């Protein structure tokens, strides 16, 4: 399976969305289509229905102690 990502934004894209993308929807830069998963380890998963990458902490949670 091909892993589609944007190295500039450190975002990765799901298979269904990636099939329709020519450029990164966040920065407009070129996408990297790699046959290996290793290059995208640690990248955020892009969620087109959200203004933030999936897994990002909400702004109110940043800097708070648990």
Distance separating alpha carbons of residues 3 and 56, to the nearest angstrom: 20
* Secondary element (H or E) of residue 16: helix 15-18
**pLDDT the model gives residue 51:** 62
Read off the pLDDT band of 6 (50, 70, 90): very high
**pLDDT the model gives residue 13:** 92
**pLDDT the model gives residue 32:** 93
- Residues with Cβ within 8 Å of 22's Cβ and at least 6 positions away in sequence, in order, are 31
The domain ranges of the chain are 3-47
Cα-to-chain-centroid distance, residue 17: 11
What are the pLDDT digits (tens) for 8-64? 989 999 888 999 999 999 899 999 998 888 888 888 888 777 766 555 555 454 455
């Amino acid at each position: 399976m091909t892993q589609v990502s944007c190295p500039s934004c450190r975002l990765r894209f799901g298979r269904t969305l990636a099939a329709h993308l020519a450029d990164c929807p966040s920065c407009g830069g070129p996408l990297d289509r790699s046959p290996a998963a290793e290059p995208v380890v640690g990248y955020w998963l892009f969620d087109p229905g959200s203004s933030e990458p999936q897994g990002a902490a909400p702004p109110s949670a940043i800097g708070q102690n648990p």
